[in-house]
Structure 1
């Protein structure tokens, strides 16, 4: 059944916080994994999940940093994992499967943005490899635990995408910029489109097993490390810093605090309002509107942003089931794995 990209009027909005949307939700006995759960909106997500009673595992590339950030927060487990290192992904997943626990929530939160051209040991472009391929592999390896939980009730996988998906579709013929000039914003946009298509593809394959997938635009949050590859001049030009170089918070323009930025993730992970809407791309704690022809050109990149740009919605190419299938096949081929939920 096609996904309806149409708001459902959730009662929450751009200014809602993670604690607002998780209020009254009981996650006692539930197990969650949050990649990048030791900084920014990932850390806020972990705190909110713990407040609702979930046990949370945080895979970390920098374990000492994770230990320091999560110190004093009980019910949180930390394990070593690097999304650019396939062996470490397999090892983390194997350790979790060996515990015999079901996995009720998988939050694919970690990511990088606007990175200069960097390739991993396999030759994969780093943004595509980190933001999409690493999470594709992690989800594949954790599938037995997801299906185990799905057999007893609803399971959700939430992938963090971005309004930046509008910078580029997935170029399946050359995802790693081997035959085209590298542009860091196109590379970021491609990886964020891939996050949306992955949720669509996982829903099509996992929904029958009680495993439902969503993708999320958290809003533009400048109080995190995600902006570390941008200059102050770029941040001012993009309208997220004022002329004095201070962060602007204005949820009406999708400029959010960390607590507001984590809200849509938590809503997608826990809200009963989303029953029957698996595969949807969401923003501002609601399902995003499908953009119409002509609107896709309104945003530009952070260096060419147009006044009056439409700062919401999702492009048709990012919710195209055929494109989702193409990406799934490409991901399996690049990683040398078969991920066929059954």
Structure 2
């Protein structure tokens, strides 16, 4: 396996914020779509891209909630989209393509985590269907607009949750193995990372580059709403008074810090000519070696990505499977 998983270094770090990494970047005339752009790091991503001059479109399942959240992001557009509903993905993409605009930046930030076993109308496990397949279909339908940008970037928000599980091609939807919420989450986040690898390979000749990112742990985004209080406490993300612990060196970040890596991947001139890599702390992550894996798994202080999450053969296989699953 070959990989470009080597820190640049970028000059940024775990405590860098989205505003810091985008400083000096002018996005006037650029168009961005940010899924999940009305809460958590998605909202901060939308805000910062808009402040740099980009036209920003936020797809949302709850239009009223999205419009309320984006009141402080003047000019942000809100359109209906449900990542678990293929018809709504097609409708959103058709409306965007009909506008005739190129798409310079697509940030796939929407996601769910550790949910009880739920299936969509097709019978697909919901975390895999939402976090990966919905975004896969969205990219496929928006492909003409990405190519038209003549230099587009797609950012897939993955997670250090890749450690919870590889993609089980023999049982993607937990039809034969016992369902475990974090194993399903890990599979979906590994799928996000693999998606960026193969998307970049397929798109680079047409000017479409892709990146996967680990944003860090940002407890107040609402992503952990299905996680028990005991698990949250054991993770050390809250202090004895129930307040979020801030320690970027352990990936315990603010929303502003959590949005930084995705914004850096979407906009930084340092990444010109690069792609298909997994990033964190606003830099390219190192590849975790077999000798370092135990240390990496033991704590969040050690950056890196597991080899199975950037394996080009697995990425190509996932792409083919995803094409079949999304027709």
The TM-score range, normalised by the shorter chain, is: over 0.9
Partner residue in 2 for 1:269:
266
Q: Which residue does 1:206 correspond to in 2?
A: 203
What is the CA distance between 1:225 and its match in structure 2? 1.0
Alignment of 1:123-162 (within 5 A): 123-150=123-150, 154-162=151-159
1:277 Cα deviation from its structure 2 partner: 2.1
Asked if 2 retains the 8 angstrom alpha-carbon contact of 1:166 and 1:296, the reply is no
The residue aligned with 2:91 is 91
Taking a change above 3 Å as real, the CA distance of residues 114 and 220 of structure 1, as seen in their structure-2 partners, is same
Paired position in structure 2 for 1:187: 184
Cα drift, residue 72 of structure 1: 4.2
Alignment of 1:236-251 (within 5 A): 236-251=233-248
Unmatched runs of 5 consecutive residues or more in structure 1: 301-305, 337-342
Aligned to 2:303: 312
CA distance in 1, matches of 2:171, 2:301: 29
1:329 positional shift = 0.8
1:3 and 1:277 in contact (8 A); partners too: no
Alignment partner of 2:318 out of 314, 317, 327: 327
> Structure 1 CA distance, aligned partners of 2:160 and 2:293?
11
Deviation for aligned residue 1:248: 0.5
Aligned residue among 175, 178, 181 for 1:178: 175
Cα distance change, pair 298–173 in 1 and its aligned pair in 2 (3 A):
farther
Q: Structure 1 stretch 3-12 or stretch 41-50: which is displaced more?
A: 3-12
Q: Does the CA-based 8 Å contact 2:288-2:296 persist in structure 1?
A: no
- 8 Å CA contact 1:235, 1:241 repeated in 2: yes
- What secondary structure, in the 3-state scheme, does the structure 1 residue paired with 2:143 have? helix
Deviations 1:54-112 (A, max 9, x none): 00000001100001001242221100000000000000000000001100000000000
- Which residues of 2 match residues 34-49 of structure 1 at below 5 A? 34-49=34-49
| Residues in 1 aligned to 2:233 and 2:321: alpha-carbon distance in whole angstroms | 37
CA contact (8 A) 1:163 1:312 kept: no
Please tell me whether the aligned partners of residues 251 and 300 of structure 2 are also in contact (alpha carbons under 8 angstroms).
no
Q: CA RMSD in A?
A: 1.4
- Name the CA shift for 1:64/1:5 in 2 (closer, same or farther; >3 Å): same
Q: Distance in 2 between matches of 1:297 and 1:63?
A: 44
- Cα deviation 1:109-138 (Å, max 9, x = unaligned): 000001111101110000000000000000
Inter-partner Cα distance in structure 1 for 2:292 and 2:160:
13
8 Å CA contact 2:106–2:155 kept in 1: the answer is yes
Q: CA deviation at 1:227?
A: 1.0
Residues 185/294 of structure 1: CA separation in 2 closer, same or farther (3 Å cut) = farther
CA contact (8 A) 1:18 1:263 kept: yes
